[in-house]
């Protein structure tokens, strides 16, 4: 299995609070991605990174920000959590722009 | 922009029957295409990938997919379904390059009846 660790694995938070999810990889892969998974929507790309300090928006980036200060870590921040951000969040990595992505085990976030 | 359409959010087959899960893509340039499987409460696992070599791609667990440029399709098949194949399957597309996105379809939930 690819060395991808997401933390925390489960979190319950209150509306309006900031939340940061962490993705840590040990594969030294260049690309990292954050997705959210919701029933009926599949996986939707939130943000992705193609190198340290290089990030770009995905399909559903509103309300989310990311940072990548070193190769191994990609942080996803919900500045002010809303109930619509209740979801399962997956981190993925890939070595190049042409190769497959490997996924973490996911973080289940509930905003109450 | 590239996108993926999976026809049929739920597919049910009998054990031993053919599995056919449909995926159509749109991309302005030759794409890289992938099929992933997700078992309950787990992450996604790569089944197979198309990267412009052979058009018929074989993957794990007896699955294969055929890239058909004229139909912009990349359907997933397996000759004989097993109970253990029950899972959700996702088709994904990306366009290679320095900055690119990996875009997923909405998924197909496969049920296998005994």
Report whether B44 contacts B102 (CB < 8 A): no
pLDDT in tens, chain B (114 residues): 668 999 999 999 999 999 999 999 987 666 789 999 999 888 899 999 998 778 899 999 999 999 998 899 999 999 999 999 999 999 998 865 555 788 899 999 999 999
Specify whether the CB–CB gap between A23 and A101 falls below 8 A.
no
Chain A hits for B106, CB-CB cut-off 8 Å, are: 40-42
Burial class for B23, CB neighbours closer than 10 Å (0-12, 13-18, 19+): buried
What integer pLDDT is reported at residue B97 of this predicted model? 57
Q: Which residue has the higher pLDDT, A90 or B103?
A: A90
Digit-coded pLDDT (tens) for A9-22: 999 999 999 999 99
Contacts of B51 in chain A (CB under 8 A): 98
Amino acid A73: pLDDT: 98
Task: Compute the mean pLDDT over every residue in chain A, rounded to the nearest whole number.
Answer: 94
- For A42-83, the pLDDT digits (tens) are 999 999 999 999 999 998 999 999 999 999 999 999 999 999
Q: A2 pLDDT band (50/70/90 cuts)?
A: low
Q: Does B109 touch chain A (CB under 8 A)?
A: no
Quick one: how many helices (H) and strands (E) in chain B? 0, 11
């Amino acid at each position: 299995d690819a060395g991808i660790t997401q933390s925390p694995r489960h979190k319950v938070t209150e509306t309006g609070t900031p939340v940061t999810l962490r993705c840590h990889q040990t594969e030294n892969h260049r690309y990292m991605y954050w997705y959210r998974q919701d029933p009926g929507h599949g996986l939707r790309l939130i943000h992705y990174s193609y190198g340290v300090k290089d990030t770009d928006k995905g399909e559903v980036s509103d309300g989310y920000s990311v940072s990548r200060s070193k190769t191994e870590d990609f942080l996803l921040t919900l500045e002010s959590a809303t109930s619509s951000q209740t979801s399962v969040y997956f981190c993925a990595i890939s070595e190049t722009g042409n190769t497959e992505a490997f996924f973490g085990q996911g973080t289940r976030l509930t905003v109450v | 922009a590239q996108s993926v359409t999976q026809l049929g959010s739920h597919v049910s087959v009998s054990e031993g029957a053919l599995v056919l899960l449909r995926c159509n893509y749109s991309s302005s340039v030759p794409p890289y295409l992938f099929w992933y499987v997700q078992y309950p409460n787990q992450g996604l696992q790569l089944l197979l990938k198309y990267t412009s070599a052979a058009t018929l791609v074989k993957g794990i667990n007896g699955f294969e997919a055929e890239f058909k440029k004229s139909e912009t399709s990349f359907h997933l098949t397996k000759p004989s379904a097993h109970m253990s194949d029950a899972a959700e399957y996702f088709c994904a597309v990306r366009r290679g390059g320095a900055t690119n996105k990996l875009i997923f379809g909405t998924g197909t939930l496969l049920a296998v009846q005994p």
